[in-house]
Amino acid sequence: MSASGEKFHNQQLVAAHPSLAFGTVVRVTNVKNGKAVTVRIIDRGPSKANREDGVVIDLSRAAARRLGFATHEKGTAVVRVEVIAPQ
C-alpha cells in the first residue's frame, strides 16, 4: 500500500516523490536517450539516504522500462522531472 492509500502496482505509470502532492502528474525524461513518460505521484520516496545520493524520484518498473533503464544492471538514470498537472 502506498502512502496515499492507493495500492501500488509496478505495471502502472506511477512514482514516489518526497514533497509533491499525491495525484500530481509529472513528466520524467531520461536525459541520456530523450525518452519521456508521464507518471502520477502516489507515494513518498526516495528514502533520505537515496536522496543524499542524488535520487530525486522513485519510478514504477513500467515507467523505468519506458525510459529505457529498468534492467538488472542499471536501475538509475539522470532524469528531468517537470510538473504537468499539480494536485
| Residue 64: domain span | 14-85
pLDDT classification of 50: cutoffs 50, 70, 90: confident
Number of folded domains that form the chain = 1
Give the model confidence (pLDDT) of 15-29 as tens digits. 999 999 999 999 999
- Per the domain annotation, does 5 fall within a domain? no
- Per the domain annotation, does 9 fall within a domain? no
Work out the percent of the chain whose per-residue pLDDT is above 70.
94
Q: Are 44 and 17 in contact (CB under 8 A)?
A: yes
Q: What are phi and psi of 49, to 5 degrees?
A: -60, -45
- Per the domain annotation, does 27 fall within a domain? yes
- Per the domain annotation, does 2 fall within a domain? no
- Per the domain annotation, does 24 fall within a domain? yes
Instruction: Give the chain's length.
Output: 87
- Per the domain annotation, does 3 fall within a domain? no
Q: Three-class SS of residue 63?
A: helix
- Per the domain annotation, does 4 fall within a domain? no
Indicate if the pLDDT at residue 70 is higher than 70: no
- Per the domain annotation, does 71 fall within a domain? yes
Indicate if the pLDDT at residue 72 is higher than 60: no
